[in-house]
Amino acid sequence: MKLNFIGEISTLKDGMEILTKDFDFELCREGVMIEVINQPGELKVVFDGNKGLIQYDQKIHFFRGLGLLLENLRKKSEFAERERPQFTMTGVMIDVSRNAVLRVETIKKILRLMAIMGLNMLMLYTEDTYQIDELPYFGYMRGRYSYQELKECDNYADTFGIEMIPCIQTLAHLQQALKWNYASEIRDTGDILLVGAEETYQFIDKMIKAATAPFKSKRIHIGMDEAHALGRGRYLDRNGYQPSFDIINKHLGLVKEITAKYGLVPMIWSDMYFRLAAENQEYYQLDLDIPQDVIDHIPEEVQLVYWDYYHNDEGFYRDFIRKHQDFGKLPIFAGGIWTWAGITPNLNKTIVTTNAALKACKQEGIKEVFATMWGDNGGETNLFSALVGFQLFAEHSYSPDLKLERVKERFEFCTGGDYDAFIDLTNFDAIPEIAEENIVLQSNPAKFLLWQDPLLGLFDRHIEGMELFEHYSKLEARLKDYLSTEQHWGYLFKMFLNLATVLKHKCDLGLRMKQAYDQGDQVVISNLYQVELPELYTQVEKLRVAHREQWFATYKPFGWEIIDLRYGGLLARIKTTRARLENYLTGELAQIEELEAERLYFDGPERPADIKLGNYNQYNRIVSASPL
């Protein structure tokens, strides 16, 4: 497709040139004429059969308009699209601190997708994964970004009118940074900085200087969420008991002096102000009253970020937004694309919570929103598997009343992926027994069924009576079909196909092994030893290789060693299981102690009261009842 854009396009041309390859068009004088007009107001994309028009306000709106033009030209001879942006900022925050550190080329790919979708802000959540020259152990062997890498990404983002905002931590969530000896004088608890110590603010100064230097933006996210043990470690030894509100406001004031020194406008997660007012440190309590003197001491320039990806009803979000307005300012809203519950995304939960939240944001006049993509417990879920969430946020941002069919159409154009195939990944966890309820339960059986030990079966009791073999067999068959037609995202679906195959073999293996052992069924035990466990070993190794391929296509190598060790542990335990069964079958063992033990429900904090499947996302708890 040849296009000739006329008008003031000097600031747009580089971005257009970059997108020609991904979206199969050519810029040339002989192409179809498209007039480009920059003026405030709505985004307008029109084609009358001979010539076209893109009228836009902000730079990012042009690139969304370009996408709308290309999409419609493939389907229609005439069209007129009009959209009015609902927010001044809509973006994505990607966690690169839980081992999965994006390659620079991956970030550029994300920025191209964001541009054509119309998203205008990207944060990389970096606890210690950026370089501080004076601190060689800060982010050591963790895939940290250099100044040059981040600068390259920022320049690339600017080509499309996308703002990259540095996103760090300046109070808690710093366990990886504080584990080294250099941090001994600034450590309150294992992951919280020592408030009030002069060395702490020298350290924070270094962090803020290094984190912001590569970026054009004068905004910074300085974190400060979930500091549950604030003031209860070495701070308590030094200062005695101090009210938590006083501690956090004192700290924020001192950090604000540093951001002011560099001419920065900071934002923080808002939860600590709500948690500190609650007896049980719960965030989402509408009946809490934040003391006025605490509110008065929050620096006026600091923006509060209300994060919430749990509630399914619009009313709650509206009420809690209003609760934030008690602080005298509109909050920024941070929703979530569910990439942190296990090894696959929960897109059903993403859609329900995002629809409710962003409707509320529009009603309450919120101007800035972004989607978080956390990588809890090792970053097992590939972020590209959750691209539907990007598109969902984008379409909400240009429509007062969104229809999911529109998300599907735009997703398939912008990403080249099959919307239904991506949505189907949710069914790794939304098994039939809890499919409808999983929007509330947020269960993640794919993760704990994959990693649980075949001999110990800590989660076997939870799946008794469930037809999981049939479920994963059907999912495996659908994934084979997707993979046969998927051109853009084959490496993603290859890994998920292998995962379905492993879960088909492994999901109820422990239950059947325990039952055969209890019944003294040597035939079944022999088949497990001779056939099923060797086949499972082969399929796990195939999955490991496919997952490795997926990882290295997306992330830096650092952090993969943790996933590799998990697969290696599972492979070793399959071998040990075979050895135990062999010794039992030959009579060398009179009993297998692991199979003698009674199977109990997993009694963890996430266990639902009615003992349905819960959300268990910590590998060390899944694999063993012993410390890891």
Q: What is the CA radius of gyration of the chain?
A: 26
Q: Give burial (CB, 10 Å; 0-12/13-18/19+) of 2.
A: exposed
CA 212 – CA 258 distance, rounded (Å): 12
Task: Return d(Cα 80, Cα 82) in angstroms, integer.
Answer: 7
Instruction: Note whether 494 and 483 are within 8 A (CB).
Output: yes
Model confidence over 113-161: pLDDT tens digits? Answer: 999 999 999 999 999 999 999 999 999 999 999 999 999 999 999 999 9
* Tokens read off for 299: 């620096």
Please state whether 416 falls in left (phi above 0), alpha (psi between -120 and 50) or beta.
left
- Is residue 564 within 8 A of residue 544, CB to CB? The reply is yes
Q: At 104, phi and psi to the nearest 5?
A: -60, -45
Tokens for 336, please give them. 């979530």
Three state DSSP letters for 488-525: CCHHHHHHHHHHHHHHHHHCCHHHHHHHHHHHCCHHHH
Q: Give the span between the Cα atoms of 599 and 582, in whole angstroms.
A: 22
* Contact present, 336 and 309 (Cβ < 8 Å): yes
Provide the token pair at 609.
Answer: 């009261």
pLDDT, residue 438, reads 85
DSSP-derived letter for residue 190 is: T
204: Cβ contacts below 8 Å, ≥ 6 apart = 170, 193, 255, 258
The per-residue pLDDT for 611 is 65
Q: What is residue 338's three-state secondary structure? A: coil
Nearest 5°: the CA angle 77, 82, 86 is: 150
Pairing of strands 89-95, 368-373: parallel
Is 348 within 8 Å of 309 (Cβ atoms)?
no
| CA neighbor of 306 nearest in space, from 358, 257, 351, 262 | 358
DSSP 277-297: TSTT--S--TT----HHHHHT
Cα distances (angstroms) measured from residue 139 to each of 27, 185, 193: 43, 18, 16
Going from the C-alpha of 550 to that of each of 142, 343, 354, 378, the distances in angstroms are 19, 13, 27, 15
Task: For residue 527, give the 3-state DSSP assignment.
Answer: helix
| Lookup: tokens for 463 | 């799946």
Widest distance between CA atoms in the chain: 85
Instruction: Spell out the residues 6+ positions from residue 160 whose beta carbon is closer than 8 angstroms to its own.
Output: 15, 59, 60, 63, 111, 112, 114, 115
Predicted structure pTM score: 0.97
Listed by start position, the domains of the chain span 2-83, 89-416, 433-623
Q: Measured between alpha carbons, how far is 143 from 557 in angstroms, rounded to an integer? A: 7
248 touches 276 (CB < 8 A): yes
Measured CA angle at 620 (ends 618, 626), to 5 deg: 140
Length of the chain: 628
What is the tens place of the pLDDT at every residue in 561-616?
999 999 999 999 999 999 999 999 999 999 999 999 999 999 877 666 666 788 89
pLDDT lower than 50: segments of the chain: none
Structure tokens at 414: 């912008």
CATH of domain 89-416: 3.20.20.80
Q: What is the pLDDT of residue 271?
A: 94
* Phi-psi sector, 465: left (phi>0), alpha (psi -120 to 50), beta: left
Q: How far apart are CA 591 and CA 499, in angstroms?
A: 32
Dihedral over Cα of 502, 505, 511, 514: its sign: negative
What CATH superfamily classification does 2-83 receive?
A: N-acetyl-beta-d-glucosaminidase (3.30.160.230)
What CATH number labels 433-623? Answer: 1.20.120.670
Burial class (CB in 10 A: 0-12, 13-18, 19+), 603: exposed
Residue 300's alpha-carbon distances to 30, 108, 265, 328, 560, in angstroms, are: 54, 35, 10, 9, 42
Looking at residue 140, what is its pLDDT?
98
Residue found by looking up tokens 């399914």 in the block? 312
